[in-house]
């Protein structure tokens, strides 16, 4: 609870299917809560209880976190109320872990288990620095790797949901990719840091500002850009209409460009959007928690896949699901299901629709050029 009038931040996956939400405070008072808004793309939701002078927790600045500092996780693991565990910040800025569309996770070794989701990760001053969201585990329990949505992202999403009922994200209008050492050298960089622009959307803020294909974006308003995911999160959290200075490397020379951030279009095709499933695609099996999408040339370039790659790209895996526990990740290419070849959405639907609720499934996937088998058992 971050405001005395009852606004509460939690995870979207905690409350998204709830018919009724109740909040129990530490002093045993119980309140009915109402949903204010949710953002599945960051797995953040805002609920509210009615009251005055309610106890609150202060925001900490997640941008100032350093690896090695203490972190305290508070939650309700396995139904054990007000459980507190302690660890350290293991990493910051974790992305591409397949949990949410916008990922900038804090990684901690503070014990986080099923039931911790939506609880606070706090620093030694008692300030909330994140919302516990997921664990990486092969057993389903604590294995020393937990993830929390950073407080600055939570606060930005929460403020937008309270103000407008939705999240309005900034948009630059570029397609970007990760740098490796070889690419960095070719583009005149001493290290593989920044985001390489491989395409610019016509009429976008980037095009209007003068960003070009082949530019490497290394900073936004003086803030160093570590990688492609970092740029994406930075732009998304920048208010629409903000004028920013973008520093790029072009032809091995630094250049500064002024760009006015636009609003992310609703109809823009994104990898994470996946198939918009109607009732006919609501599979009652282990595939319920998975969203997939046809492989397009844009996705092939983004994920650096061979141009002839066949299959269905995994756009989203529900946190805590059987598929997630099996190790399926966003960006994996499903090429076989139960030894049946998958070339397109028609193949996928035909095979998946015949799988029963309790059936185990054998997948052959391609993960950035490497093939491996995964077995998903029923939840």
DSSP secondary structure of 204-248: SHHHHHT--TT-EEEEETTEEP-SHHHHHHHHHTSPTT-EEEEEE
Active site residue 117: yes
Q: For residue 111, what are its two tokens?
A: 């014990």
- As a whole number of angstroms, the distance between CA 255 and CA 264 comes to 25
CA dihedral angle for residue 197, residue 66, residue 331, residue 280, rounded to 10 degrees = -120
Let me know: does 172 contact 225? Beta carbons within 8 Å: no
- As a whole number of angstroms, the distance between CA 263 and CA 171 comes to 5
Which residue is it, tokens 């959405």? 345
Residue of 39, 43, 104, 215 with catalytic role: 43
Let me know: does 342 contact 295? Beta carbons within 8 Å: no
Let me know: does 108 contact 87? Beta carbons within 8 Å: yes
The phi, psi pair for 63, rounded to 5°, reads -70, -20
Report DSSP state, residue 141: S
Dihedral sign for Cα atoms in the order 56, 60, 62, 66: negative
Let me know: does 152 contact 112? Beta carbons within 8 Å: no
Distances (CA, A) of 128 to 72, 151, 162, 264: 9, 7, 19, 29
Q: For residue 22, what are its two tokens?
A: 């109740």
Active site residue 204: no
- As a whole number of angstroms, the distance between CA 173 and CA 205 comes to 6
Residue of 13, 62, 104, 109 with catalytic role: 13
Q: For residue 79, what are its two tokens?
A: 């139904």
- As a whole number of angstroms, the distance between CA 104 and CA 360 comes to 32
* Total number of residues shown for the chain: 379
Cβ partners under 8 Å of residue 280, min gap 6 = none
Active site residue 258: no
Residue of 62, 90, 117, 219 with catalytic role: 117
**Residues identified as active-site:** 13, 43, 117
């Amino acid at each position: 609870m971050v405001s005395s009038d009852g606004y509460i931040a939690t995870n979207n996956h905690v409350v998204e299917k709830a018919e009724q939400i109740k909040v129990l405070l530490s002093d045993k008072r119980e309140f009915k809560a109402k949903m204010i808004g949710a953002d599945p793309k960051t797995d953040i939701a805002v609920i509210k209880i009615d009251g005055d002078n309610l106890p609150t927790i202060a925001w900490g600045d997640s941008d100032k976190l350093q690896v090695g500092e203490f972190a305290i996780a508070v939650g309700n693991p396995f139904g054990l109320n007000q459980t507190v565990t302690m660890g350290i910040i293991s990493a910051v800025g974790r992305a591409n872990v397949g949990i949410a569309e916008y990922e900038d996770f804090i990684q901690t070794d503070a014990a986080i288990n099923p039931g911790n989701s939506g609880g606070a990760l706090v620093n030694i001053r008692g300030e909330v620095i994140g919302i516990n969201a997921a664990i990486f585990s092969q057993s389903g329990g604590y294995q020393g790797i937990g993830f929390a949505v950073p407080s600055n992202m939570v606060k930005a999403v929460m403020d937008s949901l309270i103000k407008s009922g939705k999240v309005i994200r900034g948009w630059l209008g570029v397609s970007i990719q990760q740098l490796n050492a070889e690419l960095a050298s070719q583009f005149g960089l001493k290290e593989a840091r920044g985001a390489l622009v491989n395409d610019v959307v016509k009429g976008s803020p980037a095009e209007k500002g003068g960003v070009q294909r082949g530019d490497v974006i290394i900073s936004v308003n003086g803030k160093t850009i570590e990688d492609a995911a970092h740029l994406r999160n930075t732009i998304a959290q920048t208010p629409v209409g903000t004028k920013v200075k973008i520093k790029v490397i072009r032809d091995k020379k630094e250049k500064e460009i002024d760009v006015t951030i636009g609003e992310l279009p609703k109809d823009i095709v994104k990898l994470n959007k996946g198939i918009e499933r109607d009732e006919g695609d609501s599979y009652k099996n282990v595939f319920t928690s998975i969203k997939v999408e046809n492989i397009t040339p844009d996705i092939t370039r983004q994920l650096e896949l061979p141009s002839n790659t066949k299959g269905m790209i995994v756009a989203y895996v529900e946190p805590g699901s059987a598929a997630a526990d099996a190790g399926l990740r966003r960006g994996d290419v499903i090429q076989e299901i139960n030894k049946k070849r998958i070339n397109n959405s028609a193949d996928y639907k035909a095979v998946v629709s015949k799988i029963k609720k309790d059936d185990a499934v054998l997948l052959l996937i391609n993960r950035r050029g490497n093939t491996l088998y995964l077995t998903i058992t029923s939840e």
